[in-house]
Amino acid sequence: MEKKKSVEKHIMLLFLSIVQTRDKKLSPAPYQGIGETHTTNESAVRYLASKDVALDRMFALVTESVRNQDVPAEDLPALPPNERTHLGYFKHRIKDVCPKIDSEEFLVDYPYEAKMPAGEMMLAVTGLAARIMDYVQEVRKAGGEVKLHVDTTGGMRHTNMMLLAVMRLLQYNDVQIGHILYSDYERGRAENYVEEINNVYGLFNVVAGA
Domain ranges in the chain are 8-208
Digit-coded pLDDT (tens) for 160-205: 778 888 998 899 999 999 999 999 988 888 899 999 999 877 766 6
- Entry pTM: 0.91
For residue 10, give Cα distances in angstroms to 26, 41, 128, 189, 190. 30, 17, 17, 31, 31
Digit-coded pLDDT (tens) for 3-61: 556 799 999 999 999 999 999 999 999 999 999 999 989 999 999 999 999 999 999 99
For domain 8-208, the CATH class is alpha beta
Q: Give yes or no for a contact between 87 and 63, defined as CB atoms under 8 angstroms apart.
A: no
Q: Give yes or no for a contact between 148 and 11, defined as CB atoms under 8 angstroms apart.
A: yes
Write the CB contacts of 8 (distance below 8 Å, at least 6 apart in sequence): 144, 145, 146, 147
